């Protein structure tokens, strides 16, 4: 679902759970205001918030619809292998392996808050642009 659609559903849910319409009665009676941003989806439901479908049910229905639509469009066809791999793992160049190793080390050191860990992390991060450029260059020459 798109962000505006989810926001609308949230506004409806806020109205459903917080709106208590003033039906009249005692003089000076006041209705409790609904949550900020609460909207009623239909004008004729202003006095009947119980008619609004709960957020969880709407999301469940939207998810089911999306899955059914995708399954119908895909039709159960098997995934197609990219033509350049022929089902085998692509071979990496030495430069790509170097870049991969630097990224792995940076990921490992990212949580190390010691002074030594931070120093190693910054040293590895400084090497990544050059390794990335070398890996890109090796890919262009391999084609």
Q: How many residues does the chain have?
A: 143
pLDDT tens, residue by residue, 77-130: 545 554 555 555 567 888 888 998 999 998 888 888 888 988 999 999 999 999
Report residue 56's pLDDT band, with 50, 70 and 90 as the boundaries.
very high
Distance (Å) of CA 104 to CA 31, 81, 98: 59, 27, 10
Average pLDDT, integer, range 19-36: 73
pLDDT at 27: 74
For 109, list phi and psi in degrees, rounded to 5.
-80, -10
């Amino acid at each position: 679902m798109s962000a505006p659609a989810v926001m609308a559903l949230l506004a409806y849910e806020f109205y459903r759970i917080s709106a208590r319409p003033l039906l009249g009665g005692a003089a000076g009676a006041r209705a409790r205001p609904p949550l900020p941003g609460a909207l009623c989806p239909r004008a004729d439901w202003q006095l009947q918030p119980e008619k609004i479908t709960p957020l969880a049910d709407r999301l469940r229905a939207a998810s089911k619809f999306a899955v059914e639509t995708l399954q119908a469009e895909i039709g159960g066809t098997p995934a197609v292998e990219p033509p350049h791999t022929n089902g085998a793992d692509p071979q990496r160049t030495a430069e790509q392996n170097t870049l991969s190793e630097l990224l792995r080390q940076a990921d490992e050191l990212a949580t190390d808050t010691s002074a030594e860990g931070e120093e190693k992390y910054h040293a590895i991060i400084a090497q990544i642009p050059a390794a990335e450029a070398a890996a890109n260059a090796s890919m262009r020459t391999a084609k």
